[in-house]
């Protein structure tokens, strides 16, 4: 063979080898693309299954919640109905009890209780005047002291002597209590050059006795 023929043969061989390499690489790229498409299809299938499972779980949760709400409404309705029945029964029993008491005692219960409540109220006022309220206790003692001395209208006594009936540690409260009695007009003050003089108001002796019993009296 001539050198030219050898050259042609070599070129053909090289061309064959290059063609084989190109075909091999194209086959590898095709395989990779096929695998990528399979992976993408698997991912899409997985996502679709997860979405379906989530929707199913949410539907079941909503169904269960609706059942619980319906049960709660039913129980509330039953409780309200039972409470209403109890209220009606209690009202009937109360009416029957009042009617029975009125038939056996005679007259209405309220007519008999009101005088007792009045006596209880007066008793509480007397107890309050005797120690439950330091201010009212001081007023009651001062008025009792002045009344016992006969310091009424024209007969006066010094301010300091009016509060001498109180213990030393209660004199400050006594001065405030006496000032309040003067403002209300139960005690009359007579200013003099040798000090303040006080006496009971002759026209308010009934109110004086009421305050001594612990009752509340407004000013004149």
113 near 121, Cβ under 8 Å?
no
Of 192, 205, 155, 158, nearest in space to 178 by CA? 158
The alpha-carbon radius of gyration of the chain (Å, integer) is 54
42: Cα separation from own chain's centroid? 60
- Taking each helix axis as running N to C, give the angle between helix 134-149 and helix 205-212, from 0 to 180 degrees, rounded to the nearest 10: 130
The tokens 């390499």 sit on which residue? 21
Of 166, 161, 123, nearest in space to 141 by CA? 166
Residue 81's pLDDT is 77
User: pLDDT by residue (tens digit) across 7-47?
Assistant: 666 766 776 666 666 666 656 655 656 766 776 777 778 77
**55 exposure class (CB count in 10 Å sphere: 0-12, 13-18, 19+):** exposed
pTM of the full structure: 0.42
140 near 211, Cβ under 8 Å?
yes
Residue 63 has pLDDT above 80, yes or no: yes
- 202: tokens are 């002759």
Compute the distance between CA of residue 184 and CA of residue 198 in angstroms, rounded to an integer: 13
The tokens 């109110």 sit on which residue? 207
Residue 115 has pLDDT above 70, yes or no: no
Q: What is the 3-state secondary structure (H, E, C) of 97-164?
A: HHHHHHHHHCCCHHHHHHHHHHHHHHHHHHHHHHHHCHHHHHHHHHHHHHHHHCCECCCCEEHHHHCC
Q: Which residues pair with 209 in a beta bridge?
A: none
Question: Higher-confidence residue: 4 or 184?
Answer: 184
Residue range 112-212, CATH number: 1.10.10.10
Residue 220's pLDDT is 46
- 147: tokens are 């009344």
The residues, any chain, with a CB within 8 Å of residue 181's CB and separated by 6 or more, are: 139, 142, 143, 187, 211
CA atoms within 13 A on the CB side of 91: 6
User: pLDDT by residue (tens digit) across 79-89?
Assistant: 677 777 777 87
């Amino acid at each position: 063979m001539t050198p030219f023929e050898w050259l042609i043969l070599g070129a053909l061989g090289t061309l064959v080898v290059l063609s084989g390499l190109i075909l091999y690489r194209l086959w590898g790229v095709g395989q990779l693309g096929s695998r990528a498409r399979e992976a993408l299809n698997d991912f899409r299938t997985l996502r679709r299954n997860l979405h379906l499972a989530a929707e199913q779980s949410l539907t079941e949760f909503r169904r269960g919640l609706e059942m619980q709400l319906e049960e709660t409404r039913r129980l509330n309705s039953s409780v309200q109905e039972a409470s209403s029945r109890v209220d009606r029964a209690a009202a009937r029993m109360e009416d029957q009890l009042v009617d029975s008491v009125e038939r056996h005692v005679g007259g209405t219960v309220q007519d008999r209780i009101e005088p007792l409540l009045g006596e209880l109220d007066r008793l509480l006022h007397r107890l309050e005047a005797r120690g439950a309220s330091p201010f009212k206790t001081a007023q009651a003692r001062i008025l009792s002291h002045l009344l016992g001395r006969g310091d009424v209208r024209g007969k006066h006594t010094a301010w300091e002597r009016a509060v001498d009936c109180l213990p030393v540690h209660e004199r400050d409260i006594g001065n405030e209590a006496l000032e309040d009695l003067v403002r209300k007009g139960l005690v009359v003050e007579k200013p003099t050059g040798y000090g303040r003089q006080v006496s009971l108001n002759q026209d308010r002796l009934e109110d004086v006795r009421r305050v001594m019993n612990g009752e509340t009296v407004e000013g004149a």
